[in-house]
């Protein structure tokens, strides 16, 4: 079982109390939700015990007083931007979010397409939502935003974008990812509320960096590693130190933007107390839930290593530049971490070397090592029958179910039939069975085969296990491992010299 370092109930109690305090003496609070409101897997990894949907639980407790505006940047729709942890586009993520909120009876006010300029795919998305009965607004880009305050308060500024009618005292402004336009939306709303004489204010809910943990605490460093491609840098909040003589951590973009945001808020917010620092704007109480700092530190260090491998993979396929990779290397060095500090990495490399020596294979040896919750590490390699992820999962299920290595989990006849189907009827050049095909075969076999059924029932015990592959996995395989709840890293090595 996973060692726990975070208490959700303790966190929820403190967090809800603090948000309610912000609602005192005002009519409306626009709360910008940074990060992920649903499915915050990064937080779950660095804070063992953290419920990835705890913010949704928080919102459910407050749903009688809250409604949601979902922002999405129109160009992200146009270019099919992906949410990496789920493997879906941002517009699909918006649909998923709406379904999640509706299931919990949390009111979705509307969807806002930010910086809209008639983009074709964004227009189609807008029509699709409206045909489903969902209210959609569009905001144009404002020239000079956010630094040209004179323009912002002119006819060509906030005034040209429509006011989104809201009725609840707490308005959650969220989006599928960074750059969705959440802050601009909040400021636009405050401008219109102010003109109508409504007492409204703004606050920000960012889980990371954790303002009241040390600057170089592994949790804060892990956030830097997670956003290394955005060039986010954790810094001490000098405004907060000067105002309160109290140390606080924020990140560079908020520090750079604070003077501008404060000036805008002074003209739009009717909050009696103007924020003295970027940290003042935040409402995050995440530290209150940390009950074992050592467990959290260890988990955060593992997350830094996982991010290192992701950066190496992204660089290999050309997604990021050398500067991002170099920065990630600095983070690893400053954290005194090496890639081998991840147990499955050591085991995968050792087994791959054994396979190479045994088979004299000229291609990179495709091997996966998977560390179970018991600490036991099982391995799998690509053969003529199945790929390495499939082999590793089948071996892991055998281990969990106590099934001998000598016993076939799946009947050879079934596997041969599937291979024949792929090679003959489907004319596949790669008839090796994939993880997905093996899982389907296992599910079918479990109906009539007690041994397969025993293994099939152990699938849930793979959740939150750790794995490492010696080659870059396909997107489909990565997604399937994610769905199984397995945290997987990969060496930045192509599985084959073939290009297709």
Residue 261 pLDDT:
87
Using an 8 Å Cβ cutoff, are 113 and 69 in contact?
A: no
Residue 331 located in a structural domain: no
pLDDT for residue 321: 94
The total number of structural domains that make up the chain: 2
* 269 in a structural domain: yes
Give the pLDDT confidence score for residue 85 in this predicted structure: 64
User: Residues for the chain: how many in total?
Assistant: 500
pLDDT at 500: 58
**Contact assessment for residue 302 and residue 278, using Cβ atoms and an 8 Å cutoff:** no
Q: Which of 335, 381, 340 is nearest to 361 (CA)?
A: 381
- Residue 431, in any domain of the structure: yes
CATH number of residue 374's parent domain: 3.40.140.40
In whole angstroms, what is the distance from residue 51 CA to residue 43 CA? 8
Q: Is the same domain home to 94 and 189?
A: yes
41 shares a domain with 123:
yes
**How far is Cα 393 from Cα 396, in angstroms, rounded to an integer?**
5
pLDDT score for 86 = 66
Residue pair 113/139 in contact by the 8 Å Cβ criterion: yes
Lookup: tokens for 91 = 């517009």
Residue 351 sits in the same domain as residue 265: no
Distance CA 221, CA 443 (A): 41
* Residues 281, 357 within the same domain: no
Instruction: Name the residue among 228, 397, 233, 389 with its Cα closest to residue 306.
Output: 228
In a domain, 187, yes or no: yes
Residue 294 inside a domain? The answer is no
- Name residues whose C-beta falls within 8 Å of residue 370's C-beta, 6 or more positions apart in sequence: 344, 377, 378, 379, 380, 392, 393, 396, 462, 465, 466, 467, 486
Rounded CA gap, 233 and 249, in Å?
Answer: 10
Q: How many angstroms separate the CA atoms of 254 and 202, rounded?
A: 14
Segment 160-194, tens digit of pLDDT: 999 999 999 999 999 998 889 999 999 999 999 99
Please report the pLDDT score of residue 375 as a whole number.
93
Is 480 inside any structural domain?
A: yes
What are the structure tokens assigned to 234, written together?
A: 């954790």
Q: Which of 300, 286, 282, 280 is nearest to 213 (CA)?
A: 286
pLDDT of 350 reads: 94
Same domain, 65 and 139: yes
Q: What pLDDT is attached to residue 362?
A: 59
CA-CA distances (angstroms) from residue 160 to 56, 106, 190, 197, 245? 33, 29, 14, 19, 41
What confidence tens digit (pLDDT) does each residue in 435-474 have? 999 999 999 999 999 999 999 999 999 999 999 999 999 9
- Quick one: 38 and 158 in the same domain? yes
Its domain, for residue 134, covers 8-222+240-289
pLDDT (tens, 9 = 90+) of the chain, 500 residues, equals: 568 999 999 999 999 999 999 998 899 999 998 877 788 899 999 999 999 999 989 999 999 999 999 999 999 999 988 876 667 899 999 999 999 999 999 999 999 999 999 999 999 999 999 999 999 999 999 999 988 989 999 999 999 999 999 999 999 999 998 889 999 999 999 999 999 999 999 999 989 999 999 999 999 999 999 999 888 899 999 999 999 999 999 989 889 889 988 988 888 866 656 899 999 999 999 999 999 999 999 999 999 999 999 999 999 999 999 999 999 999 999 999 999 999 999 999 999 998 888 877 656 679 999 999 999 999 999 988 999 999 999 999 999 999 998 898 998 888 989 988 988 888 887 789 999 999 999 999 999 999 999 999 999 999 999 999 999 999 899 989 999 999 999 999 997 766 55
Q: CA–CA separation, 463 vs 481, rounded Å?
A: 9
Residue located via tokens 């919102």: 59
Share of the chain above pLDDT 70, in %: 96
Domain boundary (289, 312, 327) is at 289
């Amino acid at each position: 079982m996973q060692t726990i370092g975070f208490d959700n109930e303790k966190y929820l109690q403190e967090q809800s109390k603090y948000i309610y305090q912000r609602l005192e003496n005002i009519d409306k609070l626009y709360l910008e939700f940074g990060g992920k409101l649903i499915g915050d897997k990064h937080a779950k990894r660095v804070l063992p015990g953290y419920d990835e949907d705890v913010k949704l639980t928080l919102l459910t407790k407050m749903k009688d007083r809250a409604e949601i505006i979902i922002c999405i940047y129109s160009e992200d729709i146009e270019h099919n931007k992906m949410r990496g942890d789920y493997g879906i586009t941002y517009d699909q993520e918006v649909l998923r979010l709406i379904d999640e909120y509706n299931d919990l009876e949390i009111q979705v006010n509307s969807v806002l397409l930010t910086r809209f300029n008639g983009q074709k795919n964004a227009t189609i998305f807008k029509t699709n939502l409206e045909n489903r009965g969902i209210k959609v607004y569009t905001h144009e880009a404002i020239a000079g935003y956010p630094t040209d305050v004179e323009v912002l308060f002119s006819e060509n500024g906030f005034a040209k974008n429509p006011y989104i009618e809201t009725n609840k005292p707490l308005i959650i402004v969220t989006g599928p990812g960074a750059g969705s336009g959440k802050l601009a939306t909040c400021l636009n709303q405050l401008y219109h509320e102010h003109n109508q004489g409504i007492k409204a204010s703004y606050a920000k809910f960012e889980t990371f960096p954790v303002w009241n943990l040390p600057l170089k605490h592994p949790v804060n460093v892990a956030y830097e590693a997670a956003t290394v491609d955005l060039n986010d840098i954790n810094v001490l909040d000098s405004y907060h130190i000067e105002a309160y003589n109290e140390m606080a951590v924020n990140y560079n973009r908020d520090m750079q933007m604070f003077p501008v945001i404060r000036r805008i808020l002074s003209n739009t917010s009717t909050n009696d107390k103007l924020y003295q620092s970027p940290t003042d704007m935040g409402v995050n109480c995440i530290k209150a839930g940390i009950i074992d700092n050592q467990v959290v530190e260890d988990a955060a260090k593992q997350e830094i290593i996982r991010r290192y491998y992701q950066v190496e993979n992204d660089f290999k396929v050309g997604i990021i530049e050398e500067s991002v990779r170099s920065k990630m290397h600095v983070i690893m060095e400053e954290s005194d971490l090496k890639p081998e500090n991840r147990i499955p990495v050591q085991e995968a490399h050792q087994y791959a070397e054994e396979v190479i020596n045994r088979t004299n294979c000229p291609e990179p040896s495709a091997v996966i090592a998977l560390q179970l919750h018991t600490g036991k590490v099982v391995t799998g390699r690509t053969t003529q029958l199945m790929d390495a992820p499939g082999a590793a999962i089948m071996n892991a299920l055998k281990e969990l179910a106590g099934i001998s290595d000598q016993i076939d989990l799946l009947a050879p006849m079934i596997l041969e039939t599937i291979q024949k189907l792929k090679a003959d009827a489907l004319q596949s050049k790669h008839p090796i069975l994939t993880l997905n095909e093996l899982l389907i075969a296992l599910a079918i076999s479990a109906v009539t085969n007690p041994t397969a059924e025993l293994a099939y029932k152990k699938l849930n015990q793979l959740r939150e296990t750790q794995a490492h592959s010696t080659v870059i996995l396909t997107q489909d395989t990565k997604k399937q491992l994610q769905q199984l709840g397995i945290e997987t890293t990969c060496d930045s090595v192509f599985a084959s010299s073939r290009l297709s």
